[in-house]
Amino acid sequence: MANLAWGVCLLIDLIIAAFFSPLLALLLSPLLAIPLVGVFRLGAIIARGEPPDFADVTAAWGRYAGPALLLGASLVFAATVLIVDAVGAASSGSTVAWILATLAGWGMLGVGTFALIAWPILVDPRREQMGAAQRLRLAGLMLAAFPGRMVGLAIICGMILLTSTIAFAALISISLAFVALLACRYVLPAADRLEARLNRVAGEADQSQDVGE
């Protein structure tokens, strides 16, 4: 049901793009982050072993609307800039332009990977005491600490979503939910281990400073 709610919003945005204005659809696309955050919230609850309920989805729409919109708008802006740069550079045909297009392609992969890490951590029920900025910072540290693993996860999830786009009914009904659950089951335990390691290093640094004083 959470996936379907997001799918209906996606269909509305696609209709706006096809029959009214692609630019308007692009400007409205960050609003898709609100139903999206409900899908990932439910995935995080399941990954944490808590009983899921659709009420958790509707509660997430209100609770995380602000951070979700900011994150969604930032991701859309970054992806749009990188896509425009890649297309513009590739169309010029020069060697330097192709290098820039390749860098833009890697940048898009980085943005997609960060998004796949950020959504589970943002809605993690065990990190509700942390501010949104702290959770997004942890997502950035995750990408820096485990680039190979996280990019691999992003590629797998991207292939699932790309395949589902061909069978569009799957994307609307179930594929996003599957990707959200996969990401939450993989990202959240890794984030727990990284956070524990960072806290341990910080604690050892504090002890060393106390000994030095």
**For residue 101, what pLDDT is reported?**
76
* 113 neighbors 148 (Cβ within 8 angstroms): no
Residue listed under structure tokens 């330097």: 96
pLDDT tens profile 160-198 = 888 888 777 777 778 888 999 999 999 999 998 888 888
pLDDT tens profile 9-49 = 888 888 998 899 889 988 989 999 999 999 999 999 999 98
Range of the domain at 166: 2-212
pTM for this entry: 0.85
The number of domains in the chain is 1
Residue listed under structure tokens 């409205």: 28
- Mean of pLDDT values over 196-205: 74
pLDDT tens profile 77-91 = 988 888 887 777 666
Q: Cα separation of 2 and 61, whole Å?
A: 11
Segment among 24-28, 67-71, 104-108, 120-124 with least mean pLDDT: 104-108
Confidence label for 113 from pLDDT (cuts 50, 70 and 90): very high
Evaluate if residue 205 carries a pLDDT over 80: no
Those residues whose C-beta lies under 8 Å from the C-beta of residue 41, and which sit 6 or more positions away, are: 56, 57, 59, 60, 64, 123
Cα 63 to Cα 16, 66, 96, 139, 187, distances in angstroms: 27, 8, 46, 20, 21
**For residue 86, what pLDDT is reported?**
77
Alpha helices in the chain (DSSP H): 2-19, 22-28, 33-47, 54-63, 65-92, 95-122, 132-145, 147-166, 168-170, 176-212
Residue listed under structure tokens 């955050």: 37
- Mean of pLDDT values over 73-77: 92
Q: Cα separation of 105 and 112, whole Å?
A: 11
**For residue 168, what pLDDT is reported?**
76
- Mean of pLDDT values over 131-137: 90
**For residue 204, what pLDDT is reported?**
58
Confidence label for 202 from pLDDT (cuts 50, 70 and 90): low
Segment among 1-5, 135-139, 200-204 with least mean pLDDT: 200-204
